[in-house]
Amino acid sequence: MAGNTKIEWATDSDNFQAGCTKARNPDGTVAAECVHCYAESWSANLARMAATRGAPSRYQGVVTDGGRWTGVINAETDKLQRIFSGLRNARRTRSPLFLGSMTDNFHEDTPAEVLDVYAEELAHLDDRIAANKCPPHWIAQLTKRPGVLLEWQRKHFPLGTPRCFAPGVTCGHSSSVWRVRELAQVLALGPRMVSAEPLLGAIADDLQPYMHRIGWIVAGGESGPNARPMHPDWARGLRDQCEIASVPFFFKQWGEWSDVGDAHDLAERGYRRQGNERVVNLAGGHGFHGTDPRVMARVGKRRAGRLLDGRTHDEFPEVTS
Ligand code: SF4
């Protein structure tokens, strides 16, 4: 898609906040999807560039010298207002706009007054779109803190978040399904979104009870130096669940790993596993035990590509003002 981002499902991405901390599950464990957070290492780079090469100053202080989140959250209201002013005055739609690709805008420490302004700007934008005074933008907003999102919705949008807003959560593992359960409670006039990225387990059956409350699912494998492989049936399960429920499905990428084949079949044919290969079974375990073990090869994101069963899956929700 043409725009300022390489994120396959978005046209643009933008940020008015920097900083985060790894999200926690209700039992206190770190969210599986946060373990290899890309924003943490990118923020470290941007913090260095802020001093010398003009990257935004909000990245300073959000990561330690060792490249770990400090817990400092720097939110810039003026940047937030500039983003929305740009949308109101744009000639073409920038949709979907992924807002908050480097942070979690609904972090527990995001200042309440910033979220108040966010709500005002969204309402204003929605009015302009409804009056045909600007292009029909829509904003994809992901969080791993659905409780904060829910509270914000109830405070600012008791009848539902605006049509131009797609509230969403990340859920790539069964330990994260609680987020989808909370998202389902968010009153929304736009589509509710689930990002199953990185997809780290079989979650399709767990999501089934909530499918009627979901408007879009994006799925993909993990990228980066420590990326974990995605079993192909995890992605297929989500795709098939979406088809049954008539929910648009977008397959973003395989990540670093590509499917080589059924591990038992390959072993019977005398296949000798290469050094860049790993076996993953349906339950996420490694090795030949368990159901449907597959040999996965670490070939890099570009080579792994984004075909699932020989084709792309590029569906988007319909967003109407
Ligand atoms: S919530 Fe997002 S930005 Fe924050 S640590 Fe987790 S993956 Fe990183």
Q: Is 117 exposed, middle or buried (0-12, 13-18, 19+ CB in 10 A)?
A: middle
Give pLDDT tens digits for 258-272.
999 999 999 999 999
Pocket test for ligand 1, best of 103, 106, 148, 176 (most atoms within 8 A of CB): 103
Q: Report the atom number in ligand 1 closest to the C-alpha of 21.
A: 5
In CATH, the architecture of 12-16+76-256+300-304 is Alpha-Beta Horseshoe (3.80)
What's the length of the chain? 321
Q: Which sequence spans correspond to the domains of the chain? A: 12-16+76-256+300-304
Interacting residues of 173 by C-beta distance below 8 A, sequence separation 6+: 32, 33, 200, 201, 203
Question: Residue written as tokens 């860049």?
Answer: 276
- What is the number of other CB atoms lying within 10 angstroms of the CB of residue 29? 10
> Which residue's CA lies nearest to atom 3 of ligand 1?
103
Give pLDDT tens digits for 42-90.
999 999 887 777 778 999 999 998 999 999 999 999 999 999 999 999 9
Residue type, 193: M
The SS3 assignment for 24 reads strand
Question: Residue written as tokens 């069964």?
Answer: 174
Kind plus residue range of the DSSP H or E element containing 166: strand 165-170
What secondary structure letter does DSSP report for 255?
A: T
Going residue by residue through the chain (321 aa), what tens digit of pLDDT does each one get? 446 888 999 999 999 999 999 999 999 999 999 999 999 999 999 998 877 777 789 999 999 989 999 999 999 999 999 999 999 999 999 899 999 999 999 999 999 999 999 999 999 999 999 999 999 999 999 999 999 999 999 999 999 999 999 999 999 999 999 999 999 999 999 999 999 999 999 999 999 999 999 999 999 999 999 999 999 999 999 999 999 999 999 999 999 999 999 999 999 999 998 999 999 999 999 878 899 999 999 999 999 999 999 999 999 999 876
